[in-house]
């Protein structure tokens, strides 16, 4: 008996994100906020999926399993060093956040740094780079305005 060909779904919804069905699973999972290349590989390996399989050919059960793994990777024995929130300051637990919850927690962390006036918080509030980059030639934007190097007035330069 011949199996009917599975139809390609152009959009697959995993972790509240629409993924392109034409791309391989390993690549399209990285489009979810909070899922890196390494976590994407870990998801495929933990569930025994081929990374090169197109996302549109996933069954609903496989998509549900991927969604469940991304929500709670510790349940599937994914190593804790892949999580994006290790030793959370509130309850000292390793967890992995995705989507809107990740954005919310990042925003709250920055607000806390600003409130306690830490070095990183001060850099955030002034709109300067936080991670030690040089500022002499880069980061010249000031609240939307582009700043450049001031030159001498050309009309005065010709006079002697």
My answer on whether 15 and 52 are in the same domain is yes
Counted residue by residue, the chain has a size of: 160
My answer on whether 16 and 74 are in the same domain is yes
My answer on whether 35 and 69 are in the same domain is yes
Are 32 and 70 in contact by the 8 Å Cβ rule? The answer is: yes
pLDDT in tens, 19-74: 999 999 999 999 999 999 999 999 999 999 999 999 999 999 999 999 999 998 98
| Residue where a domain stops, chosen among 47, 82, 117 | 82
Report yes or no on 20 lying in a domain. Answer: yes
| Count of structural domains within the chain | 2
pLDDT in tens, 141-150: 766 666 667 7
Q: Which residue has the higher pLDDT, 138 or 35?
A: 35
Report yes or no on 157 lying in a domain. Answer: no
pLDDT of residue 88: 85
pLDDT class for 159, splitting at 50, 70, 90? low
pTM recorded for the entire structure: 0.75
pLDDT > 90 in the chain, percent: 58
Determine the structural domain holding residue 70 and report its residue range. Answer: 11-82
My answer on whether 77 and 43 are in the same domain is yes
Are 8 and 61 in contact by the 8 Å Cβ rule? The answer is: no
Which stretch of DSSP H or E encloses residue 40? helix 37-47
My answer on whether 54 and 105 are in the same domain is no
Name 138's Cβ contacts closer than 8 Å, sequence gap at least 6: 129
């Amino acid at each position: 008996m011949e199996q009917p060909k599975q139809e390609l779904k152009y959009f697959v919804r995993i972790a509240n994100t629409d993924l392109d069905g034409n791309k391989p699973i390993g690549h399209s999972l990285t489009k979810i906020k909070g899922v890196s290349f390494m976590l994407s590989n870990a998801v495929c390996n933990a569930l025994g999926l081929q990374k090169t399989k197109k996302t549109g050919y996933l069954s609903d059960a496989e998509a549900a399993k991927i969604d469940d793994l991304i929500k709670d990777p510790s349940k599937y024995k994914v190593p804790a060093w892949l999580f994006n929130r290790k030793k959370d300051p509130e309850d000292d637990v390793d967890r992995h956040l995705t989507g809107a919850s990740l954005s919310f927690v990042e925003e709250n962390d920055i607000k806390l740094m600003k409130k306690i006036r830490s070095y990183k918080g001060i850099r955030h509030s002034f709109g300067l780079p936080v991670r030690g980059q040089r500022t002499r030639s880069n980061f010249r934007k000031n609240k939307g305005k582009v700043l450049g190097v001031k030159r001498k007035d050309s009309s005065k330069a010709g006079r002697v």
